[in-house]
Amino acid sequence: MNIQDFTNSFGKPISTNKILRANASTILLEIAAGAVLKEHQSMTEALLILISGAVVYEEEDRSVELKETMDFVQIPSQLTHRVRGLKNSRLLLIQ
């Protein structure tokens, strides 16, 4: 998935599109190449957006590679997952 799929391609001068519909906080996350953000769970649904680099998001039954700027993955609440850096990477986590 890519965040640009949710844009309106400038059909209007200003537009908004809620992707995550809960009260949210935003975290800038940096993961070095080869580093692993250990397995954990999010208490709420979250959105992980790649700003630069490349990572793999992994759950028990699913693996998603984020490799292009603005690629993203939706993270279900209370599901164990981890993130592995393929390159030095910067991401936005919205919860």
Separation of alpha carbons 87 and 95, rounded Å: 24
Mapped onto helix, strand or coil, the DSSP state of residue 77 is coil
CB of 85 closer than 8 Å to CB of 31: yes
80: its two tokens: 């164990």
Per-residue pLDDT tens over the stretch 46-91: 999 999 899 999 999 999 999 999 999 999 999 999 999 999 888 8
Domains (ranges, CATH) in the chain?
19-94 (2.60.120.10)
Record the pTM: 0.78
